[in-house]
Structure 1
Amino acid sequence: MTTRPAGASAAEPATPGISTRTLVFGLVREDGTVDAGELYAVAQILGMTDQQVRLCVKRLVTEGRFTQEGRGRKAVLRTAADATGSIAPNVEYVRHAYRQDQGLAPWDGTWHLFAFAIPETSRQARDTLRDTLLHLGAAPLQGGLYVSANEIGDTVEAHAHRLGVLASLTRLTSRDLRVGEETAPARLAALLWPLQPIAERHETLAALATDRLTRLSQPAAPPTATQRLTYTIELATAFTNAMDPDPLLPPELLPQPWPGTRARALAAQCWNTLTTGHHETGSRLHLFSLYDRALTAPRPNPPQ
């Protein structure tokens, strides 16, 4: 499946990971509906076929996530369950990222460590706790031992309690972490976290945001309402693709300049351009209100 808009040049930044399902959730309006006409129009720009859209809608209705009124492009979908899909931002996570970018969340030099030994009889809980730690940006040191540069202890403990394995969880902090012979914090970060792939995802986001900002700023050929909706889905998807695997390491532990800082600033600028003065399109999407809440903190200008 291609994500390049019809007629785009081969050099245009593409947005990976836009599925038909993601598109449907991204076009949910504030009233919980999806206009099928808009859905098919945006899908066409993204290179999706009508058949893909029909099959996806059928699956979502079968799963009980939507109900459908009418047929084809004149149909209206109504959310019956989660209206955010997979591209809704975690508001506090995003705000923390922008605070770090602005130097408002400096690292105090503390490493947060988590250890657990959960028996095979509770394998599902063990796997879930491990996945929670990884999702929160912790890195494995060795079997059952994880480290984070951020203070995520209360969240991890809450998950362990919900899973019924809190008694098996050990928390501790240290300002003296050593892996093999390595003790330098920045080199430890490069050893423990896959910084290059994370940086590349942010470069993809920055390239997309830059391209869409250029298109949005051309008064002679302003994008149509459908194109603006398409840019919205592309930007939200690229932002999620970049942020989901990012452990949000403090700037003190990252190579500088760090691509994530520039990418997030450009994304915020593009988002603001998409929403400002265009109430006929973006402001009616549920997705816009979610990102508005996530991006309410002051934002820096993109580094040049």
Structure 2
Amino acid sequence: MTEEALGEVLDDMESRPGSATALLRTIVAIFLRELGGWISVAHLLELLDALDISDARARTAVARVKKKGLLIAETRDGGAGYRLADQAVPMLARGDRRVYNPRNMGADDRWYLISFTIPEERRAQRHQLRKRLEWIGCGLVSPALWIAPAFLADEIEEILRRVGVRDDCTTFVAERPIVTGDPRETVAAWWDLDAIRAHHDTFLRLHARDVPPPAGLGDREAFAIYIRAIDTWRIVPYIDPGLHPSLLPDDWPGSDTSRLLEDLRETYSAPATEYVGSVTGRRIDNPGRAARVRAAARTA
């Protein structure tokens, strides 16, 4: 896969939560590795049908993720299907960490600052850099200076390399910013906390009603609830950098959404996995548990 194509794979945030493309990507992220990295066309369409996505919309979504470089058409045992692109696996692994083991700053954690000088004739690169830094939770101090928790350093460095601007940037590790006045006001100027809060609030509004589950809920319905919940949630741990509570409003909803996510996983992950196994004819381990193990291993 070319650098340009891999860049397309990384543009996961462009898929609007709830869209056919976003739901497809969520299915792929949660289950495809546990299915050996391949799924038949028929089985994939059946899973999308459980989400009320018609064949026509499903095929359009598949075409989009193929173009992005996430899936590759591949025939196995005479059956048409799709294989997970090898180069997409690291992106999904990072997603595991974000979704299943999100990091939060401690009171004494360090910060990472990114300063850059990119000339106007390369403004497209400058735009890509700003977009990607915002997508992973960096705050804007000034037009050419960004700040983030230091635990995002590796992801930031990868972005600088992928966008092709590493030589234009200087990065610093800092103990803590020294500001006048209330640090919460400064943080509110660096991050769009209202926009981040809106994603938390949307997750709570759409999915708090799913716990406890309705009586007599079947595996197919549990699968649909689980996929939609994770699809709504997946934006939150990217744009929310996990700042220390002392830097956030007292009514910040982060702990509420984290508890809800855990309740949803405990309630729906297993029956959702059973449904995928029944559709594909394969017994698979609970992918939520497997992803948590992978995420814990990478952060240990």
Instruction: Please give the TM-score of this superposition, normalised by the length of structure 2.
Output: 0.69
Tell whether the 8 Å contact from 1:229 to 1:281 is kept in structure 2 after alignment: yes
1:264/1:39 CA distance change after superposition, 3 Å: same
Q: Which residue in 1 is equivalent to 2:83? A: 79
> 3-state SS of the aligned residue for 1:22?
helix
Return the alpha-carbon distance in structure 2 between the equivalents of residues 270 and 93 of structure 1: 16
1:68/1:176 CA distance change after superposition, 3 Å: closer
**Structure 1 residue ranges without an equivalent (≥5):** 1-15, 298-304
Q: Which residue in 2 is equivalent to 1:222? A: 217
> 3-state SS of the aligned residue for 1:249?
coil
Which deviates the most, 59-68 or 127-136? 59-68
Q: Which residue in 2 is equivalent to 1:50? A: 55
Greater share of residues in helix: 2
Tell whether the 8 Å contact from 2:129 to 2:159 is kept in structure 1 after alignment: yes
Read off the aligned partner of 1:253 and give its amino acid letter. Answer: L
**Structure 2 residue ranges without an equivalent (≥5):** 1-15, 278-283
* Identical counterparts, % of pairs: 22
> 3-state SS of the aligned residue for 2:107?
coil
Per-residue deviation, 1:271: 0.9
1:79/1:87 CA distance change after superposition, 3 Å: same
Return the alpha-carbon distance in structure 1 between the equivalents of residues 197 and 40 of structure 2: 36
Root mean square deviation, CA, Å: 3.9
Q: Which residue in 2 is equivalent to 1:184? A: 182
Q: Which residue in 1 is equivalent to 2:248? A: 254
Please say if 1:67 is aligned against 2:78: no
Read off the aligned partner of 1:258 and give its amino acid letter. Answer: W
Read off the aligned partner of 2:211 and give its amino acid letter. Answer: L
Please say if 1:24 is aligned against 2:24: yes
1:214/1:41 CA distance change after superposition, 3 Å: farther
Alpha-carbon deviations, 1:26-71, whole Å to 9, x = none? 444422333555544454453432321233345656777332659x
Per-residue deviation, 1:237: 0.4
> 3-state SS of the aligned residue for 1:107?
coil
Read off the aligned partner of 1:165 and give its amino acid letter. Answer: R
Read off the aligned partner of 1:195 and give its amino acid letter. Answer: L
Please say if 1:139 is aligned against 2:144: no
Alpha-carbon deviations, 1:120-176, whole Å to 9, x = none? 465555444434432332222222112234444455345546636346414252645
Read off the aligned partner of 1:173 and give its amino acid letter. Answer: A
Tell whether the 8 Å contact from 1:139 to 1:192 is kept in structure 2 after alignment: yes
Larger radius of gyration: 1
Q: Which residue in 2 is equivalent to 1:4? A: none
Q: Which residue in 2 is equivalent to 1:10? A: none
> 3-state SS of the aligned residue for 1:115?
strand
Please say if 1:195 is aligned against 2:193: yes
Tell whether the 8 Å contact from 1:157 to 1:166 is kept in structure 2 after alignment: no
Instruction: Please give the TM-score of this superposition, normalised by the length of structure 1.
Output: 0.68
Return the alpha-carbon distance in structure 1 between the equivalents of residues 90 and 114 of structure 2: 30
1:249/1:113 CA distance change after superposition, 3 Å: same
> 3-state SS of the aligned residue for 2:186?
helix
Tell whether the 8 Å contact from 1:94 to 1:295 is kept in structure 2 after alignment: no
1:238/1:290 CA distance change after superposition, 3 Å: farther
Tell whether the 8 Å contact from 2:113 to 2:173 is kept in structure 1 after alignment: yes
Return the alpha-carbon distance in structure 1 between the equivalents of residues 112 and 66 of structure 2: 44
Return the alpha-carbon distance in structure 2 between the equivalents of residues 132 and 115 of structure 1: 15
> 3-state SS of the aligned residue for 1:214?
coil
1:152/1:53 CA distance change after superposition, 3 Å: closer
Alpha-carbon deviations, 1:169-226, whole Å to 9, x = none? 1425264533xxx53211211222111221221122233443223225x2xx222x22
Per-residue deviation, 1:243: 2.3
Alpha-carbon deviations, 1:231-283, whole Å to 9, x = none? 22112201113223212212221123421211122112211222347753357
Which deviates the most, 142-151 or 163-172? 163-172
Return the alpha-carbon distance in structure 2 between the equivalents of residues 241 and 159 of structure 1: 18
Q: Which residue in 1 is equivalent to 2:4? A: none
Q: Which residue in 1 is equivalent to 2:95? A: 90
Q: Which residue in 2 is equivalent to 1:34? A: 39
Return the alpha-carbon distance in structure 1 between the equivalents of residues 146 and 268 of structure 2: 40
Read off the aligned partner of 1:106 and give its amino acid letter. Answer: G
> 3-state SS of the aligned residue for 1:281?
helix
Return the alpha-carbon distance in structure 2 between the equivalents of residues 62 and 127 of structure 1: 22
